[in-house]
Structure 1
Amino acid sequence: MPGAHYHALWTWDTYFTGMALPDDYFDHEVGSLRNLLAHTSEGGRPPSRIDPDGAADYQHAAQPIHAAWSLSILDRSGDTELLRELWPTLVRLRAWWDESTMSRRGLHTWVRGSGTGIDNDPAIYGRSGDTVALVDVNCFHVRELTAMAVLSTRLGIGEPGPWQERADALRAAINTYMWDDQRGTYFHLDLAPHTWQTFQQLTWELPLLTQTWANLFPLWTGVADQRRADRLVTEHVLDPYRFRSRFGLRSTPADQRFYNNVAMANPSNWQGPVWALPTALTAYGLARFGYRSEALSLAKDLRDTFTRDLAATGAVHEYYDADTGTPLAHPHFVSWNLLITRLADDLVASHDPTALC
């Protein structure tokens, strides 16, 4: 991706940037996906990025977004021949995720020694990701399985039913095991192997009570039902002492013990600062569940943050202090922050470019 000090083809950065770009750049979006899929390992592991020299990096796993991305390309191009070409790789990717990350309760864990893109989420930063079921990652998997079902139908390949059944089962598992009705939010789960027990059977899983915007993914992805969405929105998203900042959406609620607005890189800081991606996806999620005016207000605050930055520095930064609006890192950042160019219009038109058609 261009801009700031990033020059590699990062998976989710590229996908969400593609959602923001006009059709003039559609060939670049298609080429980016084909490039990433072409570098999928023989075993089915997706690279997290491809460097300018063409080398693929497998140290981190990519987010599971390739099927949803492929469906978006089919929607925009109608190119069934291309999607038939990509289909075997998409199936291989799904097999890798299932073999490598499927755990108890029908939930997916993450990958050992790998970040998810939310670099310093305390649920996995400094911990073994292959024992943690993350809300955001499992919501991504629901989208992927749903997209596979739609692609199967539209391409006339295989049976769509099993893909959709798996998506529905995973959605139910997220709402059953990750939802905390007392606190009105979703939590990641510790799925470390059980080490011992006597006569009582283990019928529970331990939630990780840390929260970042990852816990809000059921809004954007539609995994939540209306009742759960209402509680997420009213008790968490719109609370100025939690997620809602005057400058956009905090990446971590202000009442978390680890909340901070420190400028850093490797890891980038998702423990408080306002980023464009959490703000935009949460705005789309708000609109999905009937909170359009609140979504528009959130979009306006982010736009104003960018506008002030451009006026003062001539650039847009990667992320901002959630309490002061001060730009913190990487001026001239060009990536998913381009979503701000269409966000308000999308919300007015009840359109989400990332939605699965």
Structure 2
Amino acid sequence: MPLRLALFFVLLSFSSQLRSALPERTAANVSKYADICKRNIYKEMRGMYREAGGSLKYKFLAPGSSQYLDMLWDWDSWLSNVALRQILLDNGTPKDSIQALDYERGCVLNSLSYCGMDGWIPIWIERNAPSREEMLKKRNPWKSNMHKPTLAQHAAFIVRTMNGDAEWLRDDFYYLQAFVSKYMNFHRHKATGLLYWETDEAIGVDNDPSTFYRPHESSGSIFLNALMYKELQAMAYIARCLSLGEIAAQYDKEAADLKSKIQEHCWDPRDKFYYSVDLNLLPVEKPSISGLNPGDLYLHVGQPRNYDCLIQRFSVWSGFMSMWAGIATPSQAADIVRLHYRDTTSFNAPAGIRSLSPLEKMYNLRASGNPSSWQGPIWINVNYLVFRGLLNYGYTAEARELAEKTVILLGRDFERFGALHEYYLPENGEPVLNKGFQNWNFLVLNMIAWLEGRPTISEF
């Protein structure tokens, strides 16, 4: 190959790499991409709003992309609502704020309309969804997953927005209690006190190796338990707003007990990180003398196991949920930040927080929609929740770094493609799947508000 032609291809390759690399994290670039994010998201905000109809009796918020166009999703609607309130604070009128309440409350009320005395609520509800009774003809509510424990948090967020007015929820508060009780009574491991997923179906972090293709009822997920801890706190808050102080005290105690169990079983003093745990252990049982002869050996009677679970040392982003939920002690948080957040060979990537460390053999960045890929790609809700956890413990420099990375990532996506995507490659921020995804991506506005020193909306 002639030298001139070879040089041309080298320059072409280098130019391509420059185009695909994330812009430098400078003050000018952060400001530029923050403005792009604000301009586009303010314009798209009403794409979340959906009117009542069919199986959805109330107005509600939808994720807003073509794949989730007319459906109510559990934790999606909650985090979308947190972003919506930031939009309204930044760029809305008092009339806009009042109008939004019907859509916000409708997310909670639609879900509760599908609740029964057993507490089971579906993870998502489509406009043409069958009735609850028809749904339960095809699934066992005691052996399947349900709405993630974010419903009380969503309700508490709205109640707080309404300055503590929870009367809109009073008639359905029984069903919210039944929902939380179902988790606490029927999806909790007695020996450890931890919550577990029934199956690996629709857990929100779809192919998290701590749960994905694991035996049923075996995953004491740190993600699930951190959410449940905050859910119990939200129930206490709502109960107090309804003047149900004695009930609130019960939820306070349950929350404190669960926090203690998470600290006991999920904290790894070796790695200094919070992990999910394996509950799939054979029971410790008394020997049966039936059929045994004198002198026969019964295995393990001399020293049966004295532990109730095994830590799953998979470096999954959800260990940071301990900081978001306020479960980690200050010294534990310091170790998590020092050893895990700052480690660029593991979680810390140019585009944000990897959903799974590349040091794990399961690391996989290929596009996947069923399940969604949580084995390495960057998700904006992950960036946001880790950001919040950092702020909870006073790590403002690290929170600033993560917020600025997120702003540049999403601003550049708008700049190049005119839309956002569902998840991204960690190194260069290239979008992987689902152009037009809105949802919790809009939480970048909450991060921008904090960066700019303006009032900031946060989840309950």
Q: TM-score range by the shorter chain?
A: over 0.9
1:1-357 to 2 correspondence within 5 Å?
1=62, 2-7=64-69, 8-22=71-85, 23=88, 24=96, 25-55=100-130, 60-77=145-162, 78-103=164-189, 104-157=191-244, 158-196=246-284, 197-204=300-307, 205-346=309-450, 348=453, 351=456, 353-355=458-460
Shift of 1:42: 3.9
CA 1:6/1:80 → structure 2, altered by over 3 Å: closer, same or farther?
closer
Work out whether residues 13 and 335 of structure 1, in 8 Å CA contact, stay in contact via their aligned partners in 2.
yes
Q: Secondary structure at the match of 1:94?
A: helix
State the Cα distance separating 1:201 from its structure 2 match.
4.1
**Which residue identity lines up with residue 175 of structure 1 in the other structure?**
Q
5+ residue gaps, structure 2, are: 1-61, 89-95, 285-299
Counterparts in 2 of 1:119 and 1:174: CA distance versus 1, 3 Å: same
- Summarize the Cα distance change of 1:350–1:230 in structure 2 as closer, same or farther, 3 Å threshold: farther
Per-residue CA deviation, residues 30-52 of structure 1 (Å, 9 max, x unaligned), is 11111011112442112100012
- For 1:160-198, what per-residue CA distance to the aligned partner results, in whole angstroms no more than 9, with x for missing partners? 222111111111111111101110101111112424542
User: Relative contact order (C-alpha < 8 Å, sep 6+): which is higher?
Assistant: 2
How far is the alpha carbon of 1:239 from its aligned partner? 1.2
Instruction: Determine if contact 2:232/2:251 at 8 Å carries over to the other structure.
Output: yes
Structure 1 residue 293 displacement after superposition: 1.9
Deviation readout 1:110-166 (Å, 9 max, x if unpaired) = 113523100000111111241111111111111111112222222112432221111
Deviations 1:200-249 (A, max 9, x none): 24322211111211221101111111111111111111211111111111
Once the two structures are superposed, what CA deviation does each residue of 1:10-44 show, in whole Å capped at 9, x if it has no partner?
A: 10011100010034333211111110111124421
Instruction: Give the count of matched residue pairs.
Output: 355
Q: Secondary structure at the residue paired with 1:315?
A: coil
Greater mean deviation of Cα atoms: 280-289 or 210-219: 210-219
TM-score using structure 2 length: 0.74
Note the C-alpha offset of 1:199. 3.1
Q: Residues of 2 paired with 1:42 and 1:155: CA distance?
A: 21
Query: Partners of 2:84 and 2:457 in 1: how far apart?
Result: 13
State whether residues 18 and 26 of structure 1, in contact with CA within 8 Å, keep that contact through their aligned partners in structure 2: no
Contact 1:287 1:350 in 2 (8 A): no
Q: 2:344 and 2:188 mapped to 1: Cα distance?
A: 37
Q: Which runs of 4+ in 1 moved over 3 A?
A: 54-60, 346-352
Contact 2:116 2:175 (C-alpha < 8 Å) held by counterparts: no
Q: Distance in 1 between matches of 2:255 and 2:145?
A: 25
User: Structure 1: how far apart are the matches of 2:346 and 2:253?
Assistant: 35
SS across alignment from 2:123: strand
Whole-angstrom distance in 2 between the partners of 1:266 and 1:41? 29
Deviation at 1:250, TM superposition (A): 1.0
Partner Cα distance (2:318, 2:215) in 1: 17
Which amino acid in the other structure matches residue 317 of structure 1? H
Once the 2 structures are TM-superposed, how far is the Cα of residue 85 of structure 1 from its aligned partner? 1.9
Segments of 5+ residues of structure 1 without an aligned counterpart are: none
RMSD over aligned Cα, in angstroms? 1.8
How many angstroms apart in 1 are the aligned matches of 2:249 and 2:302? 39
Describe the superposition over 1:58-83 as per-residue Cα deviations: whole angstroms up to 9, x where unpaired: 76422111111111111111433112
Which whole-Å CA distance do the structure 1 matches of 2:442 and 2:166 have between them?
28
Q: Whose radius of gyration is greater, 1 or 2? A: 2
- SS of 1:328's partner is strand
Q: Which amino acid aligns with 1:225?
A: T
The change in CA–CA distance for 1:295 and 1:113 in structure 2 (over 3 A counts) is closer
CA pair 113-246 structure 1, distance change in 2 beyond 3 A: closer
Q: Do the aligned residues in 2 keep the contact of 1:242 with 1:254 (CA within 8 Å)?
A: yes
- Decide which moves more: 104-113 or 212-221: 104-113
Using a 3 Å threshold, how does the CA distance of structure 1 residues 82 and 341 change in structure 2: closer, same or farther?
same
Amino acid in the other structure paired with 2:84: L
Question: 1:110 touches 1:129 (CA, 8 Å); kept in 2?
Answer: yes
Q: 2:54 maps to what in 1?
A: none
Q: CA deviation at 1:303?
A: 1.1
The CA deviation at 1:254 is 2.1
